[in-house]
């Protein structure tokens, strides 16, 4: 049986000598595998001009060897212990390394190949030398081959033995030009456009699309590099390509097909439960571990702590310290998963900082130059000439470039804000063009991830009103959802949360989106509502807006979101919120029975609060839930620490009500054991000792 291509996985990073392992070829049909491999090498499409001469020469040698293998396949009867078999086996390994080498530099970054051209050329030379050695020991005299085939073997042997590591002088000169440009950028000197255009033309990067592909290839290379390998050169190259893309080829937006695909993927994608933050229920961008060992997204847990909490949201345990330890293993898993699903991973990336946060100077200056160029475009200034108006399409392209840049790293977000982009972007929040509106609000959202930018956005005239307007009457669901996400991000600061909560249109916009939007938009709105519900004053407005009814409605489809919001609102909303939530008690009982661990925790906590504040009528309604005692016992047995505490409190409240005592806030429980009969089970009221140990 011939070896299949799957025997060797395709590598996405630059191969090195130590990165290959020998395949286990145990069958006598190694010639079939060699014929298949030579066909694959000969059919490779050489798209890169760099090292084209070397790779073309390799392909020609492979073609000649293919003729030899065909003749051997016809006349030879291989023995696995023979010298010929062992020689062919080693040839397979060497040829596969050559194939992978050609594929990697043909499909990878052109700039990265240019900067490593010495190393890659040496790899070709070394592998050619290995092939020459194998041909030297090839048992040609023992084989019954015709004269033409014998001459081919001798010809390839001669070509391999005489081959030298070749690098064109033009490539060395081109690499020096790139290094010079990077040095000038590092010294805050804007590159000459003509010189820049010449470099990109020689590398056959001639439009915005090829620039985007080059940036993606460089980012892929960064992800694939080991921690020990330097990434500085790649980071600087990304900044250079991004700058050149905007300056040489103009800002551009993705194709409609790409936008549609991205929307479909984001709406249909099922995020693994372990990759969701227990607080926001969204994909974790920067997972961190707290003192109890639980993992949360950094933004969400920081918001929780900044709100005055000193407990773990999931377990309820008091945090012994407030340190947040990065969960790098989980983050790498999430990054790999996002890459497999072909969705953007909008997190702090390595494109701006290296080695523990030391900023790469060339990359930072390239970012500043790019931002300055784009903002001047939006302001109507180009080459110091004022009043150069942009069309709506061109404006949209510039804003989209800022959107992409704002999601890369903190340095980029800081540069965009420092360049005065926020007031300019606010103007486009009420744009009639739907795409421009989406790009503007998403850029502000991406910028708001940086803590320092939150205050700048809040203090910019018209920013909050513009975001509220998009929430209420945005042209697309995507715009509304990103406006809600912006509110969520901004409300991470307690002072901003109060200000946002006082904006009636912000509250009504979030409630309306949570009520009638598609699932993704509803999740964004519910996350923002949960943040705002941390402020008691805002809770009253949320209750007036009908958020309690909406939370109850979404429990069926999104139980964790609905129950968590209901818990927060009931806890801070007083009797009015309890009365509004009265009709949802049976739904809470269903979540208590069938929900996830976190949803059951929140459902139990919500019922405890409602029973304490609402009195016997609420307790009676809870008692009417079928099998409620069995559900509570089950939660006490298998629930989380917090869930067990809340379940124990619920059971005490239920027993007091069954004994004819008040179901209100008075928590003075009897010290004696009381037997309470029910139609389904007999339960025992715990003693004082048990009550104390389970008290919250």
Q: pTM, whole model, 2 decimals?
A: 0.74
Q: What pLDDT score does 47 carry?
A: 65
Rounded to the nearest angstrom, the gap between the alpha carbon of residue 303 and the centroid of all alpha carbons in its chain is 20
276, 293, 294: which is closest to 285 by C-alpha? Answer: 276
Tens digit of each residue's pLDDT (9 = 90 or more) over 595-607: 888 888 889 999 9
User: Distance (Å, rounded) from C-alpha 50 to C-alpha 469?
Assistant: 52
Q: Give mean pLDDT, residues 539-557.
A: 88
- Strands of 159-308 (E only): list them: 287-289, 295-297
Residue 70 and residue 91 in contact, taking contact as beta carbons nearer than 8 Å:
no
Q: Interhelix angle for 477-490 vs 434-448, to 10°?
A: 20
Which two three-digit tokens encode residue 105? 């530099």
Rounded to the nearest angstrom, the gap between the alpha carbon of residue 468 and the centroid of all alpha carbons in its chain is 27
331, 333, 326, 296: which is closest to 311 by C-alpha? Answer: 296
Is residue 351 predicted with pLDDT exceeding 60? no
Is residue 242 predicted with pLDDT exceeding 90? yes
Q: What pLDDT score does 187 carry?
A: 92
- Strands of 40-137 (E only): list them: none
Tens digit of each residue's pLDDT (9 = 90 or more) over 158-168: 988 888 877 88
Which two three-digit tokens encode residue 414? 């800081």
User: Distance (Å, rounded) from C-alpha 35 to C-alpha 283?
Assistant: 46
Tens digit of each residue's pLDDT (9 = 90 or more) over 392-428: 899 999 999 999 999 888 889 999 999 999 999 999 9
Backbone dihedral angles phi then psi of residue 502, each to the nearest 5 degrees = -80, -10
**How many C-beta neighbours within 10 Å does residue 91 have?**
22
Domain boundaries along the sequence of the chain: 1-245, 273-341, 361-380+390-521
Q: Say if residue 574 is exposed, middle or buried (CB neighbours under 10 Å; 0-12, 13-18, 19+).
A: middle
When the candidates are 1.20.140.10, 3.30.40.10, 3.30.43.10, 2.130.10.10, the CATH number that belongs to 273-341 is 3.30.40.10
Q: Give mean pLDDT, residues 523-549.
A: 89
Tens digit of each residue's pLDDT (9 = 90 or more) over 134-153: 998 888 888 878 888 889 88
Domain covering 361-380+390-521 assigned CATH 3.90.1210.10 in the classification: no
Q: What pLDDT score does 381 carry?
A: 60
**Which secondary structure element, helix H or strand E, spans residue 583, and what is its range?**
none
* pLDDT confidence bin for 77, thresholds 50/70/90: low
The widest CA-to-CA distance across the chain, in whole angstroms, is 108
Q: What pLDDT score does 487 carry?
A: 93
Lowest mean pLDDT across 269-273, 337-341, 373-377, 446-450: 269-273
What is the CA angle 204-209-213, rounded to 5? Answer: 75
Rounded to the nearest angstrom, the gap between the alpha carbon of residue 624 and the centroid of all alpha carbons in its chain is 45
């Amino acid at each position: 049986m011939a070896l299949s291509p799957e025997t060797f996985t395709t590598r996405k990073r630059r191969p090195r000598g130590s990165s290959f392992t020998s395949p286990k070829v145990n069958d006598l049909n190694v010639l079939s595998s060699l014929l298949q491999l030579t066909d694959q090498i000969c059919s490779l499409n050489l798209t890169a001009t760099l090292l084209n001469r070397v790779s073309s020469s390799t392909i020609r040698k492979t073609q000649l060897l293919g003729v030899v293998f065909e003749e051997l396949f016809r006349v030879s009867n291989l023995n696995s212990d023979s010298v010929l078999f062992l020689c062919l086996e080693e040839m397979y390994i060497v040829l596969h390394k050559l194939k992978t080498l050609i594929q990697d530099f043909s499909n990878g970054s052109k700039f990265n190949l240019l900067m490593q051209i010495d190393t890659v050329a040496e790899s070709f030379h070394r592998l050619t030398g290995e092939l020459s050695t194998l041909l030297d020991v090839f048992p040609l005299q023992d084989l019954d081959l015709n004269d033409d085939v014998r001459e081919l073997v001798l010809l390839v042997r001669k070509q391999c033995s005489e081959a030298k590591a070749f690098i064109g002088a033009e490539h060395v000169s081109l690499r020096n030009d790139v290094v010079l440009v990077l040095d000038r950028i590092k010294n805050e000197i804007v590159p000459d456009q003509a010189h820049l255009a010449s470099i990109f033309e020689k590398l056959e990067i001639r439009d915005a699309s090829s620039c985007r592909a080059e940036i993606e290839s460089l980012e892929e290379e960064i992800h694939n590099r080991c921690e020990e390998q330097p990434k500085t050169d790649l980071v600087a190259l990304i900044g250079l390509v991004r700058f050149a893309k905007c300056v040489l080829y103009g800002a551009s937006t993705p194709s409609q097909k790409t936008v549609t695909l991205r929307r479909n993927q984001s709406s249909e994608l099922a995020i693994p439960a372990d990759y969701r933050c227990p607080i926001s229920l969204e994909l974790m961008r920067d997972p961190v571990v707290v003192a109890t060992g639980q993992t949360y997204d950094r933004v969400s847990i920081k918001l929780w702590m900044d709100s005055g909490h000193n407990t773990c949201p999931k377990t309820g345990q008091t945090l012994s310290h407030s340190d947040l330890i990065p969960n790098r293993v989980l983050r790498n898993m999430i990054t790999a998963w996002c890459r497999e699903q072909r969705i953007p991973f909008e997190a702090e990336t390595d494109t701006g900082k290296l080695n523990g946060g030391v900023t790469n100077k060339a990359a930072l200056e390239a970012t500043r130059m790019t931002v300055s160029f784009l903002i001047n475009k939006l302001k109507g200034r180009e080459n110091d000439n004022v009043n150069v108006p942009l069309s709506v399409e061109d404006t949209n392209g510039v804003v989209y470039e800022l959107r992409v840049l704002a999601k890369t790293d903190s340095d980029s977000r800081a540069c965009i804000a420092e360049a005065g982009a926020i007031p300019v972007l606010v103007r486009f929040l009420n744009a009639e063009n739907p795409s421009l509106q989406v790009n503007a609000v998403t850029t502000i959202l991406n910028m708001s991830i940086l803590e320092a930018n939150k205050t700048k956005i809040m203090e910019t005239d018209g920013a909050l009103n513009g975001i509220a307007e998009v929430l209420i009457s945005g042209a697309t669901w995507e715009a509304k959802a990103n406006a809600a996400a912006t509110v969520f991000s901004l409300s991470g600061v307690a002072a901003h949360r109060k200000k946002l909560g006082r904006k009636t249109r912000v509250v009504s916009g979030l409630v309306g989106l949570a009520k009638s939007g598609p699932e993704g938009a509803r999740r964004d709105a519910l996350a923002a509502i949960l943040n705002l519900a941390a402020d008691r004053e805002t809770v009253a407005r949320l209750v007036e807006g009908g958020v309690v009814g909406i939370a109850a409605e979404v429990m069926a489809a999104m139980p964790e979101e609905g129950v968590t919001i209901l818990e927060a609102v009931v806890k801070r909303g007083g009797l009015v919120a309890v009365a509004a939530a009265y009709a949802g008690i049976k739904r809470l009982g269903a979540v208590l029975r069938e929900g996830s661990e976190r949803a059951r925790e929140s459902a139990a906590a919500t019922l405890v609060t409602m029973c304490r504040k609402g009195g016997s009528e609420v307790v009676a309604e809870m008692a009417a839930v079928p099998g409620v005692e069995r559900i509570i016992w089950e939660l006490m047995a298998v629930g989380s620490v917090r869930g067990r505490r809340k379940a124990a409190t619920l059971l005490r409240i239920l027993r007091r009500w069954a004994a004819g005592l008040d179901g209100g806030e008075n928590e003075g429980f009897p010290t004696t054991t009381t037997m309470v009969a029910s139609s389904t089970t007999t339960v025992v009221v715990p003693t004082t000792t048990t009550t104390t140990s389970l008290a919250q």
